[in-house]
Amino acid sequence: MFSVRNISTIFYVSSVRSLVFARALSSSSNMAVQLKHVPGSKLYVSEPDPRLFGNPSNEESNIYWDNDSKNWLKSRFHFSFAEYNNYKNSKFGVLRVMNDDLVQPDRGFGTHGHANMEIVTYIVQGSLTHQDSMGAVETLGRGSVQFMSANSAKDKGLRFIQTWIVPRKSGLVPNYGSFDPAGDNARDICTENNQWRHLVSDVKDGPNVAPVQIEQDANLYVAELDTGKSLDLQLKKDRMAYVLCVEGSVKISDGSGNGATLHRHDGCEVKSGGSEGTLAFETNGSEIGAHVLVYEMALDNSGRKDF
């Protein structure tokens, strides 16, 4: 754990809804599932000038900096964002932004505003401190999920997945929420490995579905799989999901011969079509297992069209 420099931000909420756990289905229903592997090599990599975000110049040498980048920030963009302008990869369903961010120690984001977006941050490594204009100040670690974010610290980098979700309507009252697996609100959520954690749901589904509710028909599920373990996930008809392999390696298959093997940073578009389908997630011989994040939502015709 590391102390974090506080950063002030403004968070405007919208909404999200529901993802469903697996039940055994016949292989005929699985035939409707479509998979599109998005390898990490297809993601745009951004390493912006530190001065643009209120940071000093990059350090020439620091033993605590992650070797994956010598820049203060390295972001992998799953969808068109900032300097990456690609109309053939502008969104996936209600997901407008998904950035896999690595922030070096003692770096952060300056004060900046956000309007009319649900912003959900899932922390993979390190600790994140957020302070917003509503007076909320909080520090969260691995496995936590939070509305809104920014920051960094002294001796360990911070990696988080930040997702922007388009709300069902604009002009909603600002809101803030979080879930910490080590906190008091972890009592009703499974935090063990090899099981799905339902972290985000639609506010219309009620307060007891997931610890964080947003104003959109979408759900966030996360699982950490040990080597040799597997999980199933059911997609209802006319639903779709975006899968991110956060760590390790995982094989996704639909029971009818279709499948994709995802490694760290890889994504996968999943669409269920006119009938329900079951996805099987299996660790793929990786010694460290797999860490998987899934957003589920209503089906539409969006998705990558550049490959």
Residue 115 has pLDDT above 80, yes or no: no
In the chain, the percentage of residues whose pLDDT exceeds 70 is 74
Rounded Cα distance, 10 and 167, in Å: 16
**Is the predicted pLDDT of residue 271 greater than 60, yes or no?**
yes
pLDDT band at 4 (very low <50, low <70, confident <90, very high): very low
**What is the rounded distance in angstroms from the CA atom of residue 268 to the CA atom of residue 42?**
12
Taking CA atoms, 254 is separated from 52, 130, 226, 282, in Å, by 44, 39, 21, 11
Contact 147, 9 (CB under 8 A): no
Q: How confident is the model at residue 176 (pLDDT cuts 50, 70, 90)?
A: low
Q: Which of 49, 16, 296 is nearest to 172 (CA)?
A: 16
CA torsion sign for 140, 142, 145, 151 is positive
Average of per-residue pLDDT across 75-81: 98
The secondary element (H helix, E strand) that includes residue 125 is strand 118-125
**pLDDT-derived band at 18, boundaries 50, 70, 90:** very low
Neighbours of 113 (CB within 10 A): 9
207-259, pLDDT tens digit by residue? 888 888 899 999 999 999 999 999 999 999 999 999 999 999 999 998 787 89
Q: Where are the domains of the chain?
A: 8-298
Residue 116: the pLDDT is 78
At 185 the pLDDT is 58
pTM of the model: 0.83
Give tens-digit pLDDT for 42-66: 999 999 999 988 889 999 888 889 8
| Average predicted confidence (pLDDT) for the chain | 80
Which CATH number describes the domain made up of 8-298?
Answer: 2.60.120.10
Nearest to 178 by CA among 143, 219, 230, 226: 143
**How much is the average pLDDT of 173-200?**
76
pLDDT value, residue 188: 62
**Which residues is 81 bridged to in the sheet?**
84
- At residue 258, the pLDDT reads 86
What token pair was written down for 103? 């922030």
Selection from 287, 225, 284, 293 nearest residue 251 by Cα: 284
* pLDDT level of residue 158 (50, 70, 90 thresholds): confident
**What is the token pair recorded at 288?**
């460290």
More confident residue, 146 or 151: 146
